Chain A
Amino acid sequence: DVVMTQSPLSLPVTLGQPASISCRSSQSLVYSDGNTYLNWFQQRPGQSPRRLIYKVSNRDSGVPDRFSGSGSGTDFTLKISRVEAEDVGVYYCMQGTHWPWTFGQGTKVEIK
């Protein structure tokens, strides 16, 4: 199975400051159709997960533009340009390229 490794696992951030989460895969996530099926999800406390980013860098409708995704191959990053209080929660990367699909362990973002 493809292993998705996130870092850090815990990320204390000051309000208004940037935050960055890394996600590395044990194999390239480029599919045979040329697309890279790497997604990012946010799970706020007590809520269902919500998809933020799909195919590495595409923001879902309604997702603030302070969230951005980047990367290629095996190395991916989710960035929050200026953290707001509502961004507290756990963030997961997930690959949909290789069967069986796999999630990262999650990164907990909290306010300092």
Chain B
Amino acid sequence: EVQLVQSGAEVKKPGESLKISCKGSGYSFTSYWIGWVRQMPGKGLEWMGIIYPGDSDTRYSPSFQGQVTISADKSISTAYLQWSSLKASDTAMYYCARLRVVDTAMIDAFDIWGQGTMVTVSS
């Protein structure tokens, strides 16, 4: 079965760092991109950035450039999303999803999703 399994919910304080994960299985992890999507409480979906685990090519949505870091370890089929200094406004559900990209087009969009990781940032 093709699936993406994300790490568990996190509760952090402002200023703390955090790294959440997304592990792929049931398919060739290095043949697809992984994207991260944010959903703030009661709000819509926002695409954050993507990574190609095969060569770690990473691209960020302009809205999230410099705010987060996306990485991957292809040896363990896992992608990561990390923050160096969390803010209360980072409180949200974060999803990873699989996609295929050619040039700048998302030719196969988010066909498999993880279950989400809830991140709560509060003092």
Give the size category of A's interface with B: 20 to 34
Inter-chain contact A37/B106, CB cutoff 8 Å: yes
Inter-chain contact A33/B105, CB cutoff 8 Å: yes
Q: How far is the CB of A11 from chain B (nearest CB, A)?
A: 15
Q: How far is the CB of B106 from chain A (nearest CB, A)?
A: 3
Q: How far is the CB of A111 from chain B (nearest CB, A)?
A: 20
Q: How far is the CB of A13 from chain B (nearest CB, A)?
A: 20
Q: B61 near A: Cβ within 8 Å?
A: yes
Inter-chain contact A51/B105, CB cutoff 8 Å: no
Query: Which of these binds chain A: B7-15, B40-48, B79-87?
Result: B40-48
Q: How many A-B residue pairs have CB under 8 A?
A: 67
Q: B114 near A: Cβ within 8 Å?
A: yes
Q: A67 near B: Cβ within 8 Å?
A: no
Q: A48-B114, A49-B110 are in contact. Are A103 and B95 (CB under 8 A)?
A: no
Q: A39 near B: Cβ within 8 Å?
A: yes
Inter-chain contact B45/A103, CB cutoff 8 Å: yes
Q: A99 to chain B: which residues have CB within 8 Å?
A: 104
Inter-chain contact B44/A35, CB cutoff 8 Å: no
Chain B positions within 8 Å of A, measured between CB atoms, are 37, 44-47, 61-63, 95, 97, 99, 102, 104-111, 113-116
Going nearest first, the 5 A-B pairs with the smallest beta carbon separation are A96-B106, A99-B104, A48-B113, A106-B44, A39-B109
A51-B109, A54-B111, A98-B104 given; 7 more Cβ-contact pairs under 8 Å: A37-B106, A50-B113, A51-B110, A54-B108, A90-B44, A104-B44, A105-B44
